[in-house]
Structure 1
Amino acid sequence: QAASINSSMAWDEVVSIFRLVRSGKIKLLYIAPERLENNGFLEFFHSLDIAMVIVDEAHCVSQWGHDFRPSYLNIAPAIASLGKRAVVAAFTATATPEVRDDIIRQLELKSPFSITTGFDRENLFFQVEHPGDKTKYLLDYVKKFPNVSGIVYCSTRKEVESVRDKICRSGISAVRYHAGLDSDERLRSQEAFIYDKVGIIVATNAFGMGIDKSNVRYVIHYNMPATMDAYYQEAGRAGRDGLPADCIMLFGEKDIMTARYFISQSEDNGTKKAAYLKLRGMVDYCHTTGCLRSCILNYFGEEDAPETCSSCGSCTSQADLVDITTEAKKIISSVYRMAEHTGGRKFGSAILTDVLRGSQKAQIISLGFNKISTWGIMKGYKVQAIREMINFLAAEGFLQVEDGEFPVLSFTDRTTHFLKSDTTLLMRKHEERAEKPLTTQKRKQTEIVNEELFDLLRSLRKEFSTAEGVPPYVVFSDKTLSAMCEMLPSDREDFLEVPGVGNVKLEKYGDAFIDVINRWRSNA
């Protein structure tokens, strides 16, 4: 009793669905909000007695959200134009309190009942890495786990092409997905990934909305997204079956430049300001030594978020904490001296780094910074090391980044207190290449008992899914296969006790899976 209308359908198919809806044989109709711009569809829309309008991905209606789509603004006027107002429901998986309030305003919801089920996904392991060579890190990771499904997100189409080619040249199959490809290739890539024909899809953020593949074991962001909203929605495509999964961010300074470029293309200054602020939040996330899970939950307004967890890179890290108290005071002092020397002007991290390293650049000389006391006091440090410390100080609130197209640094309430106190400041040392995500993934792999049996069951599942033309997780999820490996059901009664098995699936698949389990037990 459900149907959808989309742009790939012939007109006679659409007309046929119209008739079925009018006759009452179809009760639930899925459309894209762009459909509301079509006068013919609006005429059909007004002819119906509509009981409920459901808005999925409702954050798209808010300009403060990470994925604003102007077509969503057509929804409220369309509902208002109905002779009898329908009940309206809106759903989203990622929305800050500000975005939730904006959804209510934009959809003109009337005294809505609101429920938030919580943002914490306990099975996800969050990790931020600062690798010297992102490609090497990525290839080491995917080679370590070639038999699982994973998504690699890149910020540009060019990066998608490059990363996908490098993975394929290493001997591992991967497909690509971005808006620059024709619709046929995008569909082929999507189906190859969903149906487990290929394990890795490399994509821009064009991939993912509406995709519900349950057995994605990792999501790697090759580039930092511009907002926490986008990051958490994309990372959240991992581990939807409830089994452990990795969400890894590979941070590089160039990611900030790319994000700033995209933001600068907007013509709306209000939107720009909000976007720069959100970008700052992502940079802070990539440099904090605090709990990454807590950082995410606090962003989304989760009350009573724990200060620590046992499943993020910060809380489980064995990397050394380095005392940067002296360096931090030198950096902060230089911010002060530069402002003092120029009558209160503020400067960004690039010129601050040049001053600290004693640069002889024309700009430094013309501003007279070669004459201030902090010029050259960190000349022995690499540019990257100083930039890391500046970002860390901003993430921890000892410096403030006043964002804009050219962000500048200033003091916060914590700055003066830190300078006058004996507080020791510790920063985590970023390794060129960290083994932690690999050992984490290895740990989660061993949580699936009887891996040999798991592979046999997965092969059988693939046979059924191929024969039925459905994704493998529709037959049974990885979580259900894992439960079979643990419970080892030997008959139909036991098989029905496995989580994820009901009477329908028992009848369709039970005997075949029980047979594989029993044969494995007899040979074990």
Structure 2
Amino acid sequence: MTEEQGKRKGLIKTPTAALKEYFGFSKFLDGQEEVISEIVSGKDGLVVMPTGGGKSLCFQIPALCFPGVTLVISPLIALMKDQVDALVTRGVSATLINSTLSWPEQKERLDGMRRGEFKLVYVAPERFRAESFLNALRDVEVSLFAIDEAHCLSQWGHDFRPDYLRLGKSLEKIGRPQCVALTATATPVVRNDIKNVLKLRQPFERVSGFSRPNLSLAITAVDKAAHKDERIRAIISAHKTGIIYCATRKKVDLVSETLASWGVKCISYHGGMSDSERVKAQEIFISKKVGIAVATNAFGMGIDRGDVRFVIHYEIPGSVEAYYQEAGRAGRDGEAAVCEMLFNYADTRTQEFFIDGANPSAAVIRQIYQYLLNEADDNHEVFRTLEDIAENADVKNTMAVGSGLTILARGGFIERFDVQGRRMRGTRLLKPDLLTRNLVLDESAIEEKDARDREKLKAMVEMCYSRSCRQQWILTYFGEEDTSPCGNCDMCRDRSAGDYRAPTAEERLMVRKALSGVARMSRRGANGWEGKFGKGRIIQMLAGSKSQEILTAKLDQLSTYGLLADKTTGYLNSLFRSLADEGLVITITGDYPLMTLSAKGERVMSGKEEFQLKWPGETAKPVGLDEKDFDPQLFGMLKDLRYKLAKQEGVPQYLIFSNKVLEALTKYLPSDAQSALTIPGIGEGKAQTYLPPFLEMIRTFQAMK
């Protein structure tokens, strides 16, 4: 299909009609309608939408409106199968093409695509290695090329996959149909990389809010494994259902054995298991036969289990992107969930080992190449395990061998192929006469990727030491401005002591509105109130949310919907915590945590009883600092300094300090690092790395006045 043929031909139905017919919804979620409108208008695009935000519908609905077929590029076979099965159940003609199918089976489905039998076809990225597959696609009317988990395209993303890199060239080979890339987590740097790799044409870009107000984020410092076990046991006892992420297979086995010794059933999941073992474990967890999964970070992409009440990180992840994506697998039903990281700085060594393995130096890559030249047979092929190559090529990190082979394959020097009947891959030299000294590598790109990965880990450590709101810190990292404290993380809870007193008239009315929202979303039986919804859903309803959970349950039609829309979610989280502490509301735990009114809460709601509360307060000003007159000249000087430092470091400005931090520095004029550390957004890491020149500028400015 040529570019001219690829222009929009006219829709066969409207997005709203498709939504109603196939999914039974009458309204789109926040952000969905705008994205879908851009796609059906024929534009290329980049969509960043958080986990649970309805990202899949953004390409599924246009697919049902377009005359041809939509190709969906997806990295996980289990995820593809789940989505195809769900679509077929809804009456959508969908199928998949991946490595589990033989070539005749793939060809049969390609023939079906040519005949127009399918609207959506999910394709694994490695299929685009084969010229035969690309040639077959040329006769198919591809209306849309949708790339899911698009952060895998970017070398600066947290889950880079080389097979994704060839998608840009594949687009050209099949006539460059309309293309949209979608992901749940991407910094501005990653977003730019995605657009450049795919060569998107005048694309629209939609970035939905990353905020997950129902998640209570916490980072707990731990000294030893026994302390980690104590926290895990307490969290499991309180919240029952969840995922424990571990950095290595060894730790997965260790934690699983510990849980088994407590009599807690769980499934294990890691890369050392066979494909069938991993699929079976995933299915057991999704079908709710077991409530807890202990897994490496490979587990969870696309996992659609709404009742995950906790996510624990046993060690520090390698990046903020990875952490937030994994944390986002909790509370997908919109109800409250906890996400706790068990932080010990010594665990960063594991992530540094992974970074070393993912980024072999040019010298190491040449060692590997020389070994292949030495060992190649008459067919220029080598059959050795990664461990054998590492040992004989004098490479200390076996992971670095795999990464080095990937770089050599990407450069066209070798190709890797499966060996029938063996759990290893062969290596074929494509330029057997090329000597190691003539091997041309992009050394600057290799070094830059290594530096970026280390910056990501550095940012993760900085977040652990930060004393500001966890969610606010993360939102700033992803480039959002004008964020406010969530009121729900460990830092916000520490700072929201508030004052305990009777309400003002305005506060009394607000509490009665909140309690009436609880009542409206409960059942009233002979024995009092029975819960139907959890705190998270109730807060969403009172705040006037347009989330899928609210619209599907028709909670937007309640008389109490949006009653407290003038309050932030952070404030409402703090308020409801106070209501619970005072015994006005009760949460009953079971399969789901359900909130109800207490007898006292009903009397307060009806105006029959007075009460006192610990009222949520605003974020306290930095300890020990007095507020001065805000001087716009100093603020401008600090912004100029930030710009220069960001340019020198090659990082976005917000990774140095946010505008809010610069405003606080201007307002409070700290004289030393110790006092500056009381400002939210300045942690130990940034105090050492970036703060000194800002303090020097403040001192210079004060001396000038």
Report the TM-score when normalising by structure 2: 0.46
2:479 counterpart residue number: 301
Alignment check: 8 A CA contact 2:221 2:343 kept: yes
Instruction: Give, in angstroms, the shift of residue 189 of structure 1.
Output: 0.8
Which residue in 2 is equivalent to 1:15?
A: 107
Q: Which residue of the partner structure matches residue 139 of structure 1?
A: 233
Question: Residue 159 of structure 2 aligns to a residue in which SS?
Answer: coil
- Cα deviation for residue 138 of structure 1 reads 0.9
Higher relative contact order (CA 8 A, sep 6+): 1
Look up the match of 1:119: 210
What do residues 113-160 of structure 1 show as CA deviations (whole Å, max 9, x unaligned)?
A: 1111211111111111112311221122213333xx211101111111
Which residue type is aligned with residue 310 of structure 1? G
Matches within 5 A, 1:100-249: 100-132=191-223, 133-146=227-240, 149-249=241-341
SS at match of 1:104: helix
Cα displacement (A) at 1:414: 4.3
Match of 1:314 among 488, 491, 509: 491
State the alpha-carbon separation in 2 of the partners of residues 135 and 319 from structure 1: 28
Deviation at 1:51, TM superposition (A): 1.3
How far, CA to CA, are the matches of 1:162 and 1:318 in structure 2?
36
Structure 2 match to 1:43: 135
Report whether the alignment pairs 1:413 with 2:507: no
Letter in 1 for 2:220: E
The separation in 2 between residues aligned to 1:419 and 1:398, in whole angstroms, is 16
Is the 8 Å Cα contact of residues 131 and 137 (structure 1) preserved in structure 2? no
Q: Does 1:272 align with 2:450?
A: yes
1:301 alignment partner, SS class: coil
Instruction: Give the aligned partner of residue 509 of structure 1.
Output: none
Deviations 1:300-357 (A, max 9, x none): 0012111x22111101027999x999xxxxxxxxxxxxxxxxxxxxxxxxxxxxxxxx
Residue ranges of structure 1 left out of the alignment (5+ in a row):
326-387, 401-409, 421-524
Work out whether residues 466 and 683 of structure 2, in 8 Å CA contact, stay in contact via their aligned partners in 1. no
Matched residue, 1:399? 688
Alignment match of 2:163 (pick from 71, 92, 95): 71
Partner secondary structure for residue 51 of structure 1: strand
Q: Distance in 2 between matches of 1:393 and 1:232?
A: 20
Q: Deviations over 1:70-116 (max 9, x none)?
A: 11111110111124x31111111100111111111011001101111
How far did residue 276 of structure 1 move?
1.1
CA contact (8 A) 2:242 2:293 kept: yes
Counterpart of 1:473 in structure 2 is none
Partner of 1:94: 185
Structure 1, residues 410-438: CA drift from partner, whole Å, max 9, x if none? Answer: 87324558999xxxxxxxxxxxxxxxxxx
Which amino acid is the alignment partner of residue 192 of structure 2?
A: D
Q: Hey, what's the Cα distance between the residues in 2 that align with 1:66 and 1:182?
A: 24
Deviations 1:156-190 (A, max 9, x none): 11111111111111110011111110112111110
Q: How many residues align?
A: 343
* Distance in 2, Cα, partners of 1:14 & 1:233: 32
Shift of 1:395: 3.5
AA aligned to 2:692 is T
- Give the CA deviation at 1:396: 6.1
Determine the C-alpha separation between the residues in 2 that align with 1:257 and 1:394: 21
Distance 1:298 1:166 in 2: 37
Residue 8 of structure 1: CA displacement?
1.9
Identity %: 40
SS at match of 2:218: strand
- Aligned amino acid, residue 143 of structure 1: S
- The CA distance in 2 between the partners of 1:14 and 1:66, in whole Å, is 31
The residue type equivalent to 1:94 in the other structure is T
> CA, structure 1 residues 261+141, in 2 after alignment: closer, same or farther (shift >3 Å)?
same
Provide the rounded CA distance (Å) in 1 between the counterparts of 2:203 and 2:141.
22
